[in-house]
Structure 1
Amino acid sequence: MENESLLHQKLSLFGVNPKKEERHNDNKTTSSAVTIRGVLTSLKENLNEKDKRPVIHLGHGDPSAFPCFRTSTVAEDAVVDALRTAHYNCYSPTFGVPSARRGIADYLNRDLPYKLSPEDVYLTLGCSQAIEISLSVLARPGANILIPRPGYPLYEIHAAGSNNNLEARHYDLLPGKCWEVDLDGVEALADENTVAIVIINPGNPCGNVFSYQHLQKIARTARNLGIIVIADEVYNHLAFGSTPYVPMGVFGSIVPVISLGSISKRWIVPGWRLGWLVTSDPNGILQNSGFVDSIKGCLNAASHPVTFIQVCESTIN
């Protein structure tokens, strides 16, 4: 109860704040000004146009660029049919088309010990926007967030953004232990201003898959520290090897979990830009603290995913 009270106290600081104030944090990480896409753009601009050899991109994973990778024709037909009705050329509801929210909740519920409701699901413009919303809600002067090293640089970019007061602190993944989280290092990094830990499972870039037991330890560590878990699961079910994929939301009764995902990777359609942010929190801590209201406030001012893609979600899943 003491740890739950600490978490509630921290989250209560993240009330809805519609005003974009200019704030300053001397501890913010700024090293992520260099991105993979930026490097690729620079390389492309400096290529010798007279050299006709093909260029192979190794820095941006988009399987749809190759003819051997293609999504299901069932999904393609669903999109075509939705377009031809002319019913879905309109703006989307702020939090997503209700049938799509319900479909994603049903899809995720297959692997959970409790049931998500459609109201736990918020549709976003790809998983990238889900990351941005999550960190925007957590941002406040002096706050810090724990992110994996190696990891996905977009978290550091948003933490260091001009509108986000978040210091990015890096914890290590242990190569000698199948890239497990260094939990001792996490406990050493965290302090009273730590608000969340990010995990990426299956891992990017390492491709590791955390075991049930390790995820449970992560949940208990986060609970003891009074922080939430942001679980980037965009590669869910793309797990290779003997360790089965387990969603972090399984442990939502131990610690509140923000689960992030999209249709981009598993269904080979990154250009369709449909992602989600899901609150896995059967104890209602995120709701009672005002955290969910802050998510809604951010989405009220955000761009929304394409409507006709949303209405096809149940067919795609």
Structure 2
Amino acid sequence: MGVDLEAVEALVDHKTVAMIAETAKTLGVVVIADEVYGHLAFGDISFVPMGVFGSVAPVITFGSLSKRWLVPGWRLGWLVVNDPDGSLKSPKFIGRLNKYCDICGGPATFIQAAVPTIIEQTHDVFKEIHCLSFPYKPEGSMAAMVMLNLSLLKDISDDIDFCFKLAKEDTVIILPGLAVGLKNWL
């Protein structure tokens, strides 16, 4: 079942500020795209950012590094305006957009400086942990499942034992695979 665009269009009044791209063009309103979880795509279906419709109607996109990398304390995100026709370039709009951006607290500067290195090296570091293997490439989710190779570990009986010892020794909390029916996965 698809969206009934005519029914949606009928709901629009002078208070409407954003809409679906083609309907937004017809009505002369902006598309606001909250894409903080946009990277979560499943199977063969790719995520399509709304910014690609910027030639149809202006698009304001919100994204978040904090959500993508599961680090809410980083408070890093972005706001992108895709407006090839320049319809949002009025000083009033830009002033309001700047005012909105000033509402949010800024991230710590040391995190901003560390982001490029963190992104580049995270996956490589996981590959170096020899007791973990990645038999399936994650195609979407906020978590990845990895297989725990117990034969490479001393004094670890199973995934639950591994998780308890990791939490106690290194203060790292992870979910044992047994919690979702996969023994010796994390």
Shared topology, TM-score over 0.5?
yes
Matches within 5 A, 1:136-147: none
Whether the 8 Å contact between 1:232 and 1:260 is mirrored in structure 2 is yes
Q: Does 1:240 align with 2:62?
A: no
Whether the 8 Å contact between 1:287 and 1:293 is mirrored in structure 2 is no
**2:117, 2:86 → 1: CA distance?**
30
Give the structure 1 partner of residue 9 of structure 2.
Answer: 187
Give the structure 1 partner of residue 105 of structure 2.
Answer: 303
**1:235, 1:300 → 2: CA distance?**
23
Q: Does 1:266 align with 2:68?
A: yes
**1:236, 1:316 → 2: CA distance?**
20
Structure index of larger Rg: 2
Which residue type is aligned with residue 293 of structure 1? G
**1:234, 1:266 → 2: CA distance?**
7
* CA deviation string 1:250-298 (max 9, x = no partner): 1112111110110123212122221211111122211136312211134
* CA deviation string 1:40-95 (max 9, x = no partner): xxxxxxxxxxxxxxxxxxxxxxxxxxxxxxxxxxxxxxxxxxxxxxxxxxxxxxxx
Unaligned 5+ residue runs, structure 1? 1-175, 198-217
Which residue type is aligned with residue 235 of structure 1? Y
How far off its partner does 1:242 sit?
A: 3.1
Give the structure 1 partner of residue 90 of structure 2.
Answer: 288
How far off its partner does 1:301 sit?
A: 5.5
Q: Greater relative contact order: 1 or 2 (C-alpha under 8 angstroms, separation 6 or more)?
A: 1
Give the structure 2 partner of residue 253 of structure 1.
Answer: 55
- Computed over aligned residues only, the root mean square deviation of the Cα atoms, in angstroms, reads 2.1
Which residue type is aligned with residue 95 of structure 2? D
The verdict on how the C-alpha distance between 1:299 and 1:260 changes in structure 2, with shifts beyond 3 A counting, is closer
Aligned-pair identity (%):
57
Pick which of 270-279 and 294-303 moved more. 294-303
The verdict on how the C-alpha distance between 1:231 and 1:316 changes in structure 2, with shifts beyond 3 A counting, is farther
Equivalent position to 1:222, from 12, 18, 24? 24
How far off its partner does 1:315 sit?
A: 3.1
| TM, length-normalised to structure 2 | 0.56
Whether the 8 Å contact between 1:233 and 1:261 is mirrored in structure 2 is yes
* CA deviation string 1:214-273 (max 9, x = no partner): xxxx31111101110110111122100332111100111211111011012321212222
**2:46, 2:88 → 1: CA distance?**
28
Which residue type is aligned with residue 244 of structure 1? S
3-state DSSP of counterpart to 2:8: helix
Aligned residues: 119
3-state DSSP of counterpart to 2:60: strand
Matches within 5 A, 1:68-79: none
Which residue type is aligned with residue 108 of structure 2? V
| TM, length-normalised to structure 1 | 0.34
Whether the 8 Å contact between 1:274 and 1:305 is mirrored in structure 2 is yes
Which residue type is aligned with residue 56 of structure 2? I
3-state DSSP of counterpart to 1:259: strand
